[in-house]
Amino acid sequence: MFITLNDWKGIVVDIDAIPEEWDSKWELLPEIGKKKILLCGINKERLKKIKSNGEALLISEETPFEPLLFYHKAYAHILELLGSKSAQTVVITGSRGALKQAQNCGISSIFYCKEEEIPAELITMLPDHIAQSWEDIEKIIGQECAGYLAERRVQRYANQQKDQDTLMRTIQTELEIDETHTCPLIAAGRYFSQNDPRAYGHQLSKRVLLHKWEDTAQTEIFTEIYREIIKSAAWESIDAITRIPPKDSRQFDRFAEITKAIAADTSAEDLSDSLICVKKYGSQRTLNRAEREANVQGAFEMKKRVDGKQIVLLDDILTSGSTAQEAAKQLYVAGAKKVTVVVLAIKQDINRFLEDALQPIRCRKCGGEMQLRINRTTQEAFFGCRELYNKEAPCTYIESYQKGLERRNLDAGFFHEQEDRYLF
């Protein structure tokens, strides 16, 4: 759950938001005998037809909610029907509202999006998987699909495993620059900030931070990932490459080796010397979107004309996008024909479920606080004692995710008691 699909027992299918051609295929999914599938939707005729073909399938005919998956409360019924806990459940949907509610309930998600590009409003609440076709669904459910490219590459690199994964996704969307310009944005994974429980054990988030702190050990794997993204996009049509410049020219440029290596590999020119930072802007961390825009306005300058050129602009984490937008703007001002922003990861919002999960529970051993964490190897969630890092008396007590949730009443029963304030 959260990051990969672990030990799932039930699938919820939002038929209103997926293609009708898939209706006859659900019962053919691998391992269907051991797991349960619940189909939900407002189209009663369609549900009836599916039911007549698939005896093993559950249908949500008697639900009082329409459309079911937009209702926070409905998930308690869903989990009851499936006989699975939220962490063992996955929702397949193509609707933003249903995706959001699934995430708010701690349920894994597969988002169906036929197009290569995903809606820009989803980039800070990315699903666990993106599927573009039925074949993708089969691969994801069959655990063959690996997820986001950078997350998998880095995970494998950390575990010194060989890459065997198929179907690795990048996130493609568009950034608005000004009235006349937009630029494609390609990202290769998700970034979880340090107060996000998903960050614990998430190799990509950890390494991106180390890289920011001038740890050059990350250069090799990051160069590989950037190279792979650029290659899959449009390797031949790129004229030049550059990056978000360091705030001060005397400061370490963490992209210097990367742009150099990629330029050497292709005929692309390395424009890093020409795009410079001319304003010492403060940290963006605590600012909102409008403040971020104002903060970086006029921060960059392009010293050279780049008329008609197609340029790749690198950054590591995309937060609000305002830094990348401002730099891309300068490249357009200098005559660029097309600027493509390539980032390793997009910062993810902390959803309501994670916010609740962040409330600590008492440790049964030392009386300290326990926190939700994700296992580094299996990516499974658990509660661990905060006193683990206490030098004098480290406490190694852990509790399973379900047990911890039950103690806090955060699972199914909890939703019954909530008012409808999360409905939309």
Q: Give the footprint of Zn ion on this chain (CB under 5 A).
A: 363, 365-366, 368, 385, 387, 395, 397
Q: Minimum distance from CB of 408 to Zn ion (Å)?
A: 16
Look at the chain and count its residues.
424
Long-range contacts of the stretch 395-403 (C-beta < 8 A, 24+)? 395/363, 395/365, 395/366, 395/368, 397/363, 397/364, 397/365, 397/366, 397/370, 398/370, 399/361, 399/364, 399/370, 401/1, 401/87, 401/372, 402/85, 402/87
Nearer to Zn ion, 217 or 393 (CB): 393
- Least distance in Å: CB of 200 to Zn ion? 16
**Minimum distance of Zn ion from residue 404's CB (angstroms):** 13
Residue among 67 and 384 whose Cβ is closer to Zn ion:
384
CB 91, CB 15: distance < 8 Å: no
Q: Closest separation between CB of residue 388 and Zn ion, Å? A: 8
- Residue 103 to residues 124, 195, 298, 355, 380: CA-CA distances in angstroms? 12, 17, 37, 11, 16
Question: Quick one: 331 or 398, whose CB is closer to Zn ion?
Answer: 398
For the bound state, the minimum distance from the C-beta of residue 368 to Zn ion, rounded and expressed in Å, comes to 4
Distance separating alpha carbons of residues 60 and 74, to the nearest angstrom? 11
Min dist. Cβ of residue 375 to Zn ion (A): 18
Q: Which is nearer to Zn ion, 4 or 371 (CB)?
A: 371
Our CB check for Zn ion shows the closer of 327 and 363 to be 363
State the Cα–Cα distance between residues 242 and 260, nearest whole angstrom.
9
Q: Enter the tokens of residue 333.
A: 């001002």
Q: 63 is written with which tokens?
A: 């639900």
Structure tokens at 410: 């955060």
